[in-house]
Amino acid sequence: MTKLVGFYPGSFDPVTNGHLDVVERACKLVDTLIVGVGTHHSKKGLFTHEARLSLLKQVLEPIGRRTETEFEVVEFEGLMVQAARQHGAKLIIRGLRDTTDYNFEMQMVGMNAQMAPDLQTVFLPSSPHVRHISATLVRQIAEMGGDITAFVPQLVLKALRSS
């Protein structure tokens, strides 16, 4: 029996409760979820690339046990469709918070479909209780000393406080 592999790309800087909402729901669609952490050498993040990989592995472990989903956390540079193919994915998982996300993602789907017609994109609308969470906003709040407790997993909060 062939296992269905999905690819969920992002910067995950930081991984938020919104990301985990998408992950939980993606687990109902795939047997294996590859979480691809993209690298942008020109961007300075809240966490190092290595820290993001480590945090993701730790927060995904209990989700994997509970949902019986296999996870692999990988880093990638360059085109996401190439990374998805390299890891055997057939689905690209994307979370949508609002129409702004939708408009951007629809452009991306069109471009990806031309480059990789063998990959299908699945949009997962954010659950209402996390729809407002944006990693960019969480990062800005954290950088300004604000409280991000409601927006990130405890592990991320601890890592931020110890850095």
86-127 pLDDT per residue, tens: 999 999 999 999 998 999 999 999 999 999 999 999 999 999
The pLDDT score that the predictor gives to residue 152 is 97
DSSP state letter for 78:
S
For the four alpha carbons of 152, 156, 158 and 160, in that order, the dihedral sign comes to: negative
Superfamily of segment(s) 5-162: HUPs (3.40.50.620)
Domain segments of the chain as ranges: 5-162
- The tokens for 133 are 């969470």
- Whether the full predicted model's pTM is greater than 0.85, yes or no, is yes
Three-state secondary structure of 10-64: ECCCCCCHHHHHHHHHHCCCCCEEEEEEECCCCCCCCCCHHHHHHHHHHHHHHHH
Separation of alpha carbons 82 and 25, rounded Å? 24
Q: What is the DSSP letter of 98?
A: S
Compute the Cα dihedral for 140, 147, 93, 74 and give only its sign.
positive
Q: Which residues face 154 on adjacent strands? A: none
Mean pLDDT by 10 residues, the chain (163 residues): 92 96 97 93 81 96 96 95 97 94 93 96 96 94 94 95 82
pLDDT, position 2: 77
Distance in angstroms (rounded) separating the CA atoms of residues 132 and 127? 10
